[in-house]
Amino acid sequence: MATARGAWICCADESGLNLIPPVRTTWAPRGQTPILHHHWRRGDQLSMAAFICYHPDGRRVRLLTDHTTGAYNTDKLITALQRLPTLLDRAPVILIWDGLPAHRSIDMKAWLAAQTGWLHVVALPGYAPELNPVEGLWSAVKGKDLANYAATDITDLWRAANRGLRRIRRNATILWSFLTHTGLTITTD
């Protein structure tokens, strides 16, 4: 993946959570099957957006997140994207994301066209989650921090997810490993 000199490469993705916990294998004494009690409500949904931003110097990496109730739409994504320049020291950004309809909407295209001074967008090929490092982030959070966790409400669910995001944010090695797992590398021109 070639970059403009000094530009952050930000891989973005969104994921949804609800009060039905991701069930994972667990261990228990023989004859004492663990039972997971939860609220069985599909209507309450939390959506998260994450941007893993890699600097081409090969040392710096940042995890930026946003969350909302319900699903992400164009307006909510634009609001999240507007925070990037401030959080990345006003450096140029190369944004890599998938083909979510909100990414391709008329309003999003118009907004992106007005951001050419600092933002360049690269679309991933159709259905290629294996090329997006943020998929590794979702797997790590849902597979460890939220596995078998029966949240009482959306606020509790966000707190648990945020604990996992903070755990990963503090460990640059994990964030770089998500990029390594995709098989992609960052090179400078």
The reported pTM is: 0.88
Distance CA(45)–CA(51), nearest Å, equals 20
Specify whether the CB–CB gap between 102 and 16 falls below 8 A: no
Q: What is the pLDDT of residues 12-71, one digit of tens each?
A: 999 999 887 776 777 778 888 776 666 666 667 899 999 999 998 888 999 999 999 989
For residue 170, count other CB atoms closer than 10 A to its CB. Answer: 10
At 164 the pLDDT is 96
User: For tokens 């098989």, what's the residue?
Assistant: 183
pLDDT at 120 over 60: yes
CB 76 within 8 A of CB 189: no
What domains can you pick out in the chain, each with its CATH number? 2-17+44-188 (3.30.420.10)
Model confidence pLDDT, tens digit, residues 74-114? 999 999 999 999 999 899 999 999 988 999 999 999 999 99
C-alpha to C-alpha distance for 179 and 189, rounded to whole angstroms:
19
Q: CA-to-CA distance for 184 and 100, rounded, in angstroms?
A: 21
Q: What is the pLDDT of residue 135?
A: 96
User: Could you give the C-alpha distances from 184 to 5, 55, 71, 91, 101, in angstroms and in order?
Assistant: 18, 14, 29, 22, 25
How far is the C-alpha of 143 from the C-alpha of 137, rounded, in Å? 10
Cα–Cα distance for residue pair 166/161, rounded to 1 Å:
9
Q: Are 122 and 2 in contact (CB under 8 A)?
A: no
Q: What band does 127 get if pLDDT is binned at 50, 70 and 90?
A: confident
Q: Could you give the CA distance from residue 134 to residue 10 in angstroms, rounded to a whole number?
A: 10
Q: Is pLDDT of 189 > 60?
A: no
| Structure tokens belonging to residue 118 | 């600092």
Among the residues of the chain, which ranges form H helices? 74-82, 84-87, 106-113, 133-140, 154-169, 172-182
